[in-house]
Amino acid sequence: MSKLASVNSRNLDLSLYKTHITATGLPPLSRSFLVTLQSRSPYTVSLNSSSLLFDSNIFRFCIPLKTINSKFNSIPDSNEIPLVKLEPLIHNFLLHSSQFGFFLNVRRFKEALLGHSGQRPAPVLLDVVHLWAIHLSGSAEFTAYESNYLSRALHTAVNALSGVHSGNTVLYTTQAEVLLTLYFVQNTRFLEAKYHLSTAVSLVISSGLHRIRSAESYATGGHSTASRGSMTPPRDGIEECERINAFWTVLTVNNCWTTADGSPSNISYTDPDTRIDTPWPLDLNAPGSHSQVPPESSFGTVTAFLGNQPDSGTSMAALHAKAAILFEQASKLASQYHPNMNNKRQFYASFTSADTLIERFKLSLPTVHSHSSREMIVTHSLAHVATIQLHNPFVMDTDASRSRVITSARTIVANIAQVPLNKFGYIDPIMGTLFMAACQVFVTELKRLRRHRPMNSPVPPEERFVVDATETILAAMNIFAPSCQLMNSQLIAMQRRISSFST
* pLDDT value for 289: 64
* pLDDT value for 453: 80
For residue 348, pLDDT over 70 is answered with yes
* pLDDT value for 18: 45
Span of 235-239, 326-330, 468-472, 487-491 with lowest mean pLDDT: 235-239
Per-residue pLDDT tens over the stretch 199-253: 999 999 999 999 999 988 655 555 555 444 457 889 899 999 999 999 999 999 9
* pLDDT, the chain, mean: 84
Per-residue pLDDT tens over the stretch 60-94: 223 333 333 333 344 444 689 999 999 999 999 99
Exposure pattern of 46-67 as b/e (b: 16+ CB <10 Å)? Answer: ebebbbbbbbbbbbeebeebbe
More confident residue, 456 or 403: 403
* pLDDT value for 74: 42
* 43-to-40, 65, 202, 259, 265 alpha-carbon distances in Å: 4, 11, 22, 20, 20
Contacts of 190 (CB under 8 A, 6+ apart): 7, 45, 184, 261
> What's the pTM value of the predicted model, to 2 decimals?
0.86
**Residue 18 gets which letter from DSSP?**
H
* pLDDT value for 456: 78
What percent of the chain is predicted at pLDDT more than 70? Answer: 80
Span of 14-23, 206-215, 409-418, 455-464 with lowest mean pLDDT: 14-23
* pLDDT value for 219: 52
For residue 24, pLDDT over 80 is answered with no
* pLDDT value for 8: 31
The distance from CA 7 to its chain's CA centroid, rounded to whole angstroms, is 19
C-alpha to C-alpha distance for 154 and 129, rounded to whole angstroms: 12
Domain ranges in the chain? 336-503
Contacts of 448 (CB under 8 A, 6+ apart): none
* pLDDT value for 353: 98
Span of 7-11, 330-334, 348-352, 367-371 with lowest mean pLDDT: 7-11
More confident residue, 26 or 124: 124
C-alpha to C-alpha distance for 84 and 81, rounded to whole angstroms: 8
* pLDDT value for 47: 29
C-alpha to C-alpha distance for 304 and 312, rounded to whole angstroms: 11
| Region at 3 (left for phi over 0; alpha for psi -120 to 50; beta for the rest) | beta
Strands 6-7 and 45-46, how do they pair? antiparallel
* pLDDT value for 350: 97
pLDDT band at 454 (very low <50, low <70, confident <90, very high): confident
For residue 257, pLDDT over 60 is answered with yes
Per-residue pLDDT tens over the stretch 94-109: 999 999 999 999 999 9
What percent of the chain is predicted at pLDDT more than 90? Answer: 68
Per-residue pLDDT tens over the stretch 27-64: 434 444 444 433 332 222 222 333 445 443 333 223 33
pLDDT band at 9 (very low <50, low <70, confident <90, very high): very low
* pLDDT value for 292: 74
